Structure 1
Amino acid sequence: MYDHRDHIAELCSRLFASMPRRGQRLKAERYVRALLSVPGRKTLRNIADWMEGEPADREPAKQSVHHFISNSSWDWTRVRHALAGYVEDTVAPRAWVVRPLVIPKAGPHSVGVDQQFVPHLGLTVHGQQAYGAWLASEHTAVPCDWSLLLTRAWLDDPGRRRRAQIPAGALPAGPEEVAGRLALDASRGLPSRRPVVIDAEGLDPTRMLRVLVPAGVPAVVRVPASTPLRVDPAVLHSYSERPATADQLVAGCRRLWRPAEGRGVRAALPVVLPAAPRQPLLLLARWTAGTRGPDRYWLATTPALRAGAPYRSDEAPLALAALADTVELAFRQVSEQTGIRDFAGRSFQGWHRHMTLASAAHAAAVLGDRRAVHGVRAA
């Protein structure tokens, strides 16, 4: 798929410098190479076969890889911080993009697997539900941090917690809190603070903004067309303050529609959430060229807008929202090929270590070819 041999050693040297033992650093690099080289699913058995050069049913190879992922001492959080720093230096990203990841599973044993309602799909799925934080520019994107949603079926059962090695600090949280905390941690993780785009339709925007706004994190949050809103009376006096849905407000404010280069039509409207009337927001709507109506709606935090103040341009938050498309393309073209859905182990530690190394493999795939820094490959 890609030629990684010229740069992968340099990448891994920086990412894995925090690992205390040389053997761990070597094994991490070989694991990344295996993720980039093994055809088909990147299971521990297939990875062990590639790494050890032996048949996959040779227990020493399999057990060695399993121990390195599930029971080793290396700290995945330090590797993720190093990955974020590497991407920051290489790509000069514009924002963090937080998006959901659903991993369907047939069996019940992998950590986090449950019957779960998935907000952005509007469906109940048997599997794992997670959120990833991606650093994104206009041209490429790399996942750098992950959070796994754990239901009470896992957190309230001492036996399951012990077998899955779930840390004591893991507490019940809804998807809004999981995604919001991940976004907040990501925004604080680099010396140069970045705004956050949350591309997870179906989450409660009020709960999301309660996490991000007090921390001063600029945010653009995707919302469904049915989101109840009100026109901000401090900015637009001539419009009704009665609650209406996002699509109703956009349809009723045609004078705010205007062409968007490369994106068909756009609209921006100062609004507030009925549950948070003091927080000024911009409702953004985007039409894809050729469509009859908006295909995405976003809420963007703004500085306080007051009557008579110059209207703030919607260009910046719209440009940030467009980064979600870059992440979606990178996910489909690269992450799904580097094992992001393939871990079948049972431990919390193992899931996080595999996701960390799969993210490193993604970085190797898109950043190794310097041309990819200037554009994710077209499908």
Structure 2
Amino acid sequence: MATGHDLVGNLCEGLFTSLLRRDQRLKAESYVRALLAAQGRKTLRNIAEQMGGEAAQQSVHHFISSSSWDWSAVRRSLAQRVDAVLAPRAWVVRPLVIPKAGPHTVGVDQQFVPHLGHTVNAQQAFGAWLASERAAVPCNWRLVLPASWLEDPLRRHRACIPETSRAAGLEECASDAVRQLESTRAGRRPVVVDAEGLDVRRCVRHFGERRSPLLVRIGPHTPVRVDNTRLHAYSDKPVTAGQLVATMKQFRRQAASPGGYGGHGADVGVAAAIPVLPGEFDGPGPRTPMLLLADWPSAPHGDARMWLARGAGTPVPGLLRLARLADTAERDCAAVSERIGIRDFAGRSFQGWHRHITLASVAHLAAVLTTAERHAPAPALSRVA
């Protein structure tokens, strides 16, 4: 498949070994190359133009929407490769919202999107990104399927939604994105859930009793309570996270991030870490001790980014470093994934959406590696005596 120093070809050769037929492996590689090369929206027609013109359109449509290859195996290979080349520190789970004008694309409905705070006609999914300070790559995806798709036999049949697909809340969908790759070497890394508006206790429950840290992004109006088993002099009356951070200024400390936001330079800012319980906890049942982590990346002014962290003994600077990986994922989603068409699939089938976004994730890794190679220092020339 690959000849000479062909980064994309060598990458695809390793990632597509689970595709049993040679023609499928070749077509998957061609699709990745088309995503990297095509200009404008990466529709199937636009991609087919890169893969052989109008005559290739039907073949490309079949390969994405109706073929038999297993995208989950490709994603496991992708996660293992990213783990090897990127040395990621954590999973970053972030939402992907794809607004749509019509109702026909799989999963599209009028859906409330917590981090936007309003309802949109859109697809909604969660991506699991492996992230270091240098780069982040999406490795797995969980499409949110509303009841209007799961409970309508005709829509379900037309979209080829598997019988195993069932209704799930947003917190469960977010955890599925990581849980489905727990069997890989990268599976048990810390998790940073960069999806403001989710229910924190449900997130903790669905992510389970992980030994590694879990951080969940929250907004300033999220209810919390001081954990007065650790801070005996304070009331445990429920307050908002923003109120608690504003009034407990004595917990603020200078904080530095070695890699800086997005991996560029060193940032010195201010952070606060306050022992709390999620505010919605009431009555008997297990306690969920956490840290309210507030982060001002460059100054103690303006709005803080807030997280609830179950730290597993990780020092506060380490938790801050993990939280700031969310910015690496946000940056690379905008700079790389958007450019190679992560949102652009317009077909109607469940399988088609998953296959397109899987190959777009492979193209994302190819783009990251190409950029890294382009900026790598040239080898020193040996002197001739």
TM-score scaled by length of structure 2: 0.89
2:331 is matched with 329
Query: 2:11 aligns to what?
Result: 11
Structure 1 residue 368 displacement after superposition? 2.5
CA contact (8 A) 1:366 1:372 kept: no
Q: 1:283 aligns with which of 260, 269, 292?
A: 292
8 Å Cα contact 2:270/2:299 also seen in 1: no
Give the alignment of 1:79-228 within 5 angstroms: 79-190=74-185, 193-228=188-223
Code of the residue aligned with 1:246 in structure 2: it is A
Compared CA separation, residues 183 and 372, structure 1 to 2 (3 A): farther
- Structure having greater relative contact order (Cα 8 Å, sep ≥ 6): 1
* 1:319 correspondence with 2:315: no
Q: In 1, Cα distance between the equivalents of 2:191 and 2:183?
A: 11
**Alpha-carbon displacement from aligned partner over 1:319-343 (angstroms, at most 9, x marks no partner):** 1000000001101110001110100
Whole-Å separation in 2 of the counterparts to 1:360 and 1:316: 29
Question: Using the alignment, how far apart are the partners of 1:17 and 1:37 within structure 2?
Answer: 23
2:274 is aligned to 269
For 1:139 and 1:26, the matched residues in 2 are separated by 30
Instruction: Give the letter aligned to residue 285 of structure 1.
Output: A
- Matched positions, count: 359
Contact 1:135 1:142 in 2 (8 A): yes
Counterpart of 1:42 in structure 2: which amino acid? Answer: K
- Hey, what does 1:356 align to over in structure 2? 358
Task: Give the Å deviation of 1:71.
Answer: 0.7
Does the 8 A contact of 2:212 with 2:312 survive in 1?
Answer: no
Match of 1:377 in 2: none
AA matched with 1:140 = A
Deviation at 1:289, TM superposition (A): 2.4
Q: CA deviation at 1:161?
A: 0.5
1:62 aligns with 2:71: no
Question: What's 2:260 paired with?
Answer: none
Deviations 1:75-132 (A, max 9, x none): 0000000000110110110000000001111111110111111111001111101110
Any unmatched runs of 5+ in structure 1? 305-311, 375-379
Q: Which amino acid aligns with 2:272?
A: A
Cα-to-partner distance string for 1:232-268 (whole Å, 9 max, x where unaligned) = 1221111111111111111121111012231521100
So what's the TM-score if we normalise by structure 1?
A: 0.90
Secondary structure of 1:25's partner?
helix
Deviations 1:5-29 (A, max 9, x none): 7301110001100001000000000
* Alignment check: 8 A CA contact 2:254 2:270 kept: yes
Question: Per-residue displacement from partner, 1:135-188 (whole Å, max 9, x unpaired)?
Answer: 000110100000110101000000000100000011111211111222333444
Please tell me whether the aligned partners of residues 184 and 217 of structure 1 are also in contact (alpha carbons under 8 angstroms): no
What does residue 302 of structure 1 align with? Answer: 311
Change (3 A) 1:323 1:159: same
Partner of 1:308: none
Question: After the TM superposition, which of the residue ranges 185-194 and 108-117 deviates more from structure 2?
Answer: 185-194
Is residue 233 of structure 1 aligned with residue 235 of structure 2? no
Is this contact kept in 2: 1:131–1:148, CA < 8 A?
yes
Deviation larger for 356-365 or 178-187: 178-187
Q: CA deviation at 1:371?
A: 4.6
2:209 match: secondary structure: helix
CA contact (8 A) 2:83 2:186 kept: no
Q: Matches of 2:206 and 2:374 in 1, distance apart?
A: 34
CA distance, structure 2, for counterparts of residue 168 and residue 94 of structure 1: 35
Tell me the amino acid that sits aligned with residue 43 of structure 2. T
Name the CA shift for 1:296/1:153 in 2 (closer, same or farther; >3 Å): same
Structure 1 residues 138 and 187: CA distance shift in structure 2, 3 A: farther
1:273 deviation in Å? 1.6
Deviations 1:188-233 (A, max 9, x none): 4326621110000011111111112334452111011111111112
What is the rounded CA distance, in whole Å, between the counterparts of 1:372 and 1:110 in structure 2?
38
Work out whether residues 184 and 211 of structure 1, in 8 Å CA contact, stay in contact via their aligned partners in 2. no
- Deviation per residue, 1:266-291 (Å, 9 max, x gap): 10011112417612111100114256
Checking the alignment, whether the CA contact within 8 Å between 1:220 and 1:298 is kept in structure 2 is: yes
Identity rate of aligned residues, in percent? 57
Rounded to whole Å, the distance in 1 between the matches of 2:31 and 2:289 is: 47
Matched letter for residue 289 of structure 2: P
- Which stretch of structure 1 is more off in the superposition, 276-285 or 35-44? 276-285
Distance 1:273 1:290 in 2: 27
Q: 1:217 to 1:210 in 2, by over 3 A?
A: farther
**1:285 is paired with a residue of what secondary structure?**
strand
